[in-house]
Amino acid sequence: MASTEQQAAGSERADLDELVQGVRAGRPRSIGRVISMVENGAAELPALTALLAADTGQSYVVGITGAPGVGKSTTTAALVAALRDSGQRVGVLAVDPSSPFSGGALLGDRVRMQHHALDPSVYIRSMATRGHLGGLSVAAPAALRVFDAAGFDTVLVETVGVGQSEVEVAALADATLVLVAPGMGDGIQAAKAGILEIGDIFVVNKSDRDGAQPLIRELRNMIALGTRGPGEWQPPIVTTVANENRGIDELRQTIDTFRAAQQASGEHRRRRLGRARQEVEGLALGQLRAELRLSRSGLDELADRVRAGELDPYAAAAQLLARHG
């Protein structure tokens, strides 16, 4: 007869199998549970990830970045509708790297997404990544893998945070849309802060407003000054009025054109490789950090010697790693 321990392990395994089947079938409850496990860094994650791995590699990830208020959520909702019209199943992941809590900040966006919420071919989820072991570089790809295994053709990733986090999220996407808008004062300003280099497609949203033409000109000049060489993808500018659904079909077609070009050039594979590398590194570093803190590797003792001026921090770090190895 099996021991109670074996029985417990067996039923845990059965739970995981059921969860994996639920994700594969695209069941919202299962997808939601697994993404919560990603957020919380659950102990079952490695086992779950191994079970899901065979079903991944199909979905296309589109990152949507830009300053707050530029129209990211409106554009995301409009793109969801356009992608649904072309028969795709669509996932939306709203990432807030600055918050340890998911949900709250996105309530407004939820309302906007409401008419998609009843569509079984659309799944919308927000996720917080602060406090996650390995941070955004681990949590976001793990969540994307869940969407992927659930069979979504396209996953739209909207960042809620600002600044560096947007650049980080862009590094996880297959294609990055950078949104700017006239009359925001900081439209191009935000672009200057590193966002220009990450844009595959630029979107001038709110083009119903004054100042759209000068903004397009300014953007075009800045793109021309960029470092992209001949034969490389030159980021196009798409003009939209997202809340009126104008320009959204053209945007969807431009994403398709970019996708075809990046697949032909090998750039798509390079990006996926970079993403996997970042994830593996993030996991390894997170694990190492946890081990160094938990194990009696003498971190406290070494720190105390550094404090007392008996040891320099480089030597202390070298000793720490040597003891750990």
Q: Which residues here bind ligand GDP, judged by CB under 6 A?
A: 66, 68-74, 205-206, 208-209, 241-243
Tokens of 212: 């759209």
The site map against Mg ion for 60-79 (x = CB under 5 A) is: ------------xx------
d(CA 286, CA 303): 20
Report the nearest approach of ligand GDP to the CB of residue 223 (Å).
21
In the structure, how many helices (H) and strands (E) does the chain have? 15, 7
126 binds Mg ion (CB under 5 A): no
CB nearer Mg ion, residue 59 or residue 73: 73
CB 36 within 8 A of CB 143: no
CB nearer Mg ion, residue 113 or residue 299: 113
Relative to beta strand 90-96, strand 122-128 is parallel
CB within 8 A of 306, min separation 6: which ones? 312, 313, 316
Tokens of 138: 């681990």
CB nearer ligand GDP, residue 71 or residue 141: 71
CB nearer ligand GDP, residue 47 or residue 81: 81
CB nearer ligand GDP, residue 30 or residue 74: 74
Report the nearest approach of ligand GDP to the CB of residue 129 (Å).
18
Report the nearest approach of Mg ion to the CB of residue 6 (Å).
48
Report the nearest approach of ligand GDP to the CB of residue 199 (Å).
15
Kindly write down the DSSP assignment for every residue of 234-266, as one continuous string. Answer: PPPEEE-BGGGTBTHHHHHHHHHHHHHHHHHHT
Longest distance between any two alpha carbons in the chain, whole Å: 78
Residue 74: contacted member of Mg ion, ligand GDP, none (CB under 5 to 8 Å, by partner type): ligand GDP
CB nearer ligand GDP, residue 19 or residue 242: 242
Residues 194-213 that bind Mg ion (CB under 5 A): none
Q: What is the dihedral of CA 187, 189, 193, 197, to 10 degrees?
A: 60
Report the nearest approach of ligand GDP to the CB of residue 12 (Å).
40
Q: Which helix (H) or strand (E) holds 62?
A: strand 60-66
Q: What is the dihedral of CA 160, 162, 165, 169, to 10 degrees?
A: 50
Residue 177: contacted member of Mg ion, ligand GDP, none (CB under 5 to 8 Å, by partner type): none
Residue 100: contacted member of Mg ion, ligand GDP, none (CB under 5 to 8 Å, by partner type): none
Residue 301: contacted member of ligand GDP, Mg ion, none (CB under 5 to 8 Å, by partner type): none
Report the nearest approach of ligand GDP to the CB of residue 240 (Å).
6
Report the nearest approach of ligand GDP to the CB of residue 205 (Å).
5
CB nearer ligand GDP, residue 61 or residue 242: 242
> 154: alpha, beta or left, given left = phi > 0 and alpha = psi -120 to 50?
beta
Select from 160, 170, 167 the least CA-distant residue to 102: 160
Binding residues (CB under 5 A) for Mg ion: these are: 72-73
